[in-house]
Amino acid sequence: MSRKNLMSPSILSGDFWRLGEQISELEKADVEWLHIDVMDGVFVDSISYGMPVIRSLRPKTSLFFDAHLMIIEPERYIKVIADCGADSITFHYEATKDVQGCIAEIKAAGKQAGIAIKPDTPVIDIIPYLEQLDMVLVMTVNPGFGGQKLIPECFEKVREIRTIADEMGLTDLNIQVDGGINTENVTIALDSGANIIVAGSAVFRDSITDNINKFCEKL
Ligand code: DX5
Ligand code: ZN
């Protein structure tokens, strides 16, 4: 089994004046993934950043770029986000009428494919796609902003997906949790079957190195 437990710090909570320094600090703390939230102000209320940011970070770091697209009709942007240097592209199930087409587009670009589901979206909706996916992102808050409080019921969905994936023999499937994750609740996330841990505010407040070390003790 090649599935690993990993942190994917979300730069949404970063300090954009010092983003390069902060990413270097993550690398020194042995972080491997970087979570990049792309928001369009339509699928979610907020607007974050997109192609120019990914493109400018790409040559500066070898971190694995985990792009989380919170945009409607993600099919319009998959290729360009891939070309900017994302390694994994996760789109929202709720944001497109063409889930199959989105997966195909990500695969055609040679990238890892993920589907994200909001807290109210049932697991059953994404099961037909499971075999084709590298990752499922179970949102543990309603997407749109960092620093929200986690909705604990979402862990039940993680458990459900992990059970179904195991039954299907999909032991390498990554399950990511995103939203309100901290060093107090990360163990519950892992016990539920999540293995990729996104954290924004719990990583970027105070000392990044100390925060990552605290998370890593629990992974
Ligand atoms: C929220 C984003 C998250 C966000 C997490 O919609 O998808 O990635 O940055 O931030 P925290 O960990 O502060 O909830
Ligand atoms: Zn995210």
For residue 146 and ligand 1, the question of a CB distance below 6 A is answered with yes
Ligand 1 near 140 CB (within 6 A): no
d(CA 34, CA 11): 7
Sequence-ordered list of residues with C-beta below 8 angstroms from that of 180, at least 6 positions apart, any chain: 140, 141, 148, 149, 150, 151
Nearest CA to ligand 1 atom 6: 143
Nearest CA to ligand 1 atom 4: 146
Alpha carbons 142 and 145: distance in angstroms, whole number: 8
For the Cβ of 144 lying below 6 angstroms from any atom of ligand 1, the answer is: yes
140 Cα nearest atom in ligand 1: 14
The minimum-distance atom of ligand 1 relative to the CA of 10 is 9
Q: Give the per-residue pLDDT at 2.
A: 80
Rounded to whole angstroms, the Cα distance separating 139 from 130 reads: 17
Task: Going residue by residue through the chain, which has 219 residues, state the pLDDT in tens, using 9 for 90 and above.
Answer: 589 999 999 999 999 999 999 999 999 999 999 999 999 999 999 999 999 999 999 999 999 999 999 999 999 999 999 999 999 999 999 999 999 999 999 999 999 999 999 999 999 999 999 999 999 999 999 999 999 999 999 999 999 999 999 999 999 999 999 999 999 999 999 999 999 999 999 999 999 999 999 999 999
What are the structural domains of the chain?
Answer: 6-216 (3.20.20.70)
- What is the C-alpha to C-alpha distance for residues 93 and 46, in angstroms, rounded to an integer? 19
Whether the pTM exceeds 0.75: the reply is: yes
Instruction: Please work out whether the CB of residue 13 comes within 6 Å of at least one atom of ligand 1.
Output: yes
Which positions are catalytic?
37, 178
> Counting atoms of ligand 1 from 1, which one is nearest the CA of 150?
14
Residue 1 is predicted with a pLDDT of 58
Q: Atom 7 of ligand 1 has which residue's CA nearest to it?
A: 143
Angle at 193 between CA 12 and CA 209, to 5 degrees: 40
For residue 40, the CA-to-ligand 1 centroid distance in Å is 15
Does residue 178 have its Cβ closer than 6 Å to ligand 1? yes
Residue for token pair 């500066």? 60
| Distance in Å, CA 214 to ligand 1 centroid | 18
Å from CA of 169 to ligand 1 middle: 30
Which ligand minimizes its atom distance to the CA of 14?
1
201 lines ligand 1 (CB under 6 A): yes
- According to DSSP, the residues that pair with 35 across neighbouring strands are 10, 66
